[in-house]
Amino acid sequence: MSTTPSKTLETFANPRPGRPYEIHFDCPEFTCLCPLTGQPDFAVIHIVYVPAERCVELKSLKLYLWSYRNEGAFHEAVTNQILDDLVAATAPQSMTVTAEFLVRGGITTRVVASHPTE
């Protein structure tokens, strides 16, 4: 497996597909760029999901999140894109991605996107 940023999300078979359980990830080093100023935006990404048949592999998730480091993205857009990509890769029973962006212009931003839509 690569050690460079990648949009590829690897998965593996859920070891307990008959049991509903939650998986929680906290990714405290997420970075993307403000699409208007080009300055870095920093966030903590929280992912909670109930897997169906597939689980996301952690190293590929790390490299996937790293791939945003040099991309311009509005907070709302990047949060929803992360959710869309994870749902496409894993087809979970449910998933929520919460992005807690650090202060920019005196304002913090928290974006919450869920599947299925609540």
- Of 26, 27, 32, 34, which is the active-site residue? 34
Q: Which of 108, 97, 115 minimizes the C-alpha distance to 41?
A: 108
- Of 26, 27, 32, 41, which is the active-site residue? 41
Q: How many CB atoms lie within 10 A of CB 43?
A: 25
Q: Which of 8, 98, 86, 79 minimizes the C-alpha distance to 50?
A: 86
| Catalytic residue status for 41 | yes
| Catalytic residue status for 34 | yes
The DSSP secondary-structure symbol of 71 reads: -
Q: Which of 27, 100, 95, 117 minimizes the C-alpha distance to 67?
A: 27
CA pair distance 7, 9, nearest whole angstrom? 6
Q: Which residues are catalytic?
A: 34, 41
